[in-house]
Chain A
């Protein structure tokens, strides 16, 4: 499976500021996604990060608030803009790959990064 790293692992930010979260994968993957997990909640898909084109956003999420870049097949960024306390959450990068832990081909499976814990004061 792909090894996924995220930076920063956590941050505390002031209201009205913006934070950019980076996601790096150790191998080329088919698709990359960004999820949000609010305290005590399950995961909600924010958008699919498309390489070389605009991200595809889910209902309730917009580019002005969550701009996403994916300049190549192994890297993506998510920016949380003009933050408010309601944006306090864990933000998770996820990748779709067709390799399992042993490197064998299998139907596409999603793996997750460790997450970025964001607190907005």
Chain B
């Protein structure tokens, strides 16, 4: 079993739709949860960061963490064609184990 499992996609939605992206993880020692967005031929860009259960909102983006279920989600409201990218969830430990473990990524296309 992979440490981080991510819905593979690809996902195609019409402009204005609500998008839900999801990951599960297996190691309860993970403490920090991120979402990165990666446009084609670019490096990953940090989109959202959280370290507690619950919701964190930033504009049209909401990151949700459920540590009891080991489940994280990213919601995009009023999706735009510019949101078309690959979204990667990433989990981070603490202390000396602070390297990231990435999900496989979900490719999202928002159609105008």
Contact = CB atoms under 8 A, between A and B. Distances in A.
Given A48-B99, A96-B98, A42 B45 contact: no
Interface stretch (A14-22, A72-80, A108-116): A108-116
Contact of A1 (B44, B46, B92, B98): B46
Contact of B41 (A43, A96, A110, A117): A117
Interface in A20-44: 31, 33, 41-43
B98 A43 contact: no
Given A43-B88, A115-B42, A109 B99 contact: no
B102 interface: yes
Output the residue of B34, B42, B100, B104 with the most chain A CB within 10 A: B100
A60 B53 CA distance: 34
Nearest to B88: A42
Contacts of A94: 100
Nearest to B50: A107
Given A42-B102, A43-B88, A43-B102, A113 B43 contact: yes
A118 interface: no
A92 interface: yes
Contacts of B49: 106, 109
A1 B44 CA distance: 14
Given A31-B98, A107-B32, A41 B104 contact: yes
A45 interface: yes
Given A96-B98, A107-B32, A109-B49, A114 B104 contact: no
Interface string B27-62: 000001010100001111110010100000000000
Interface string B64-98: 00000000000000000000000010101000001
3 nearest A-B residue pairs (beta carbon) = A112-B43, A115-B43, A114-B43
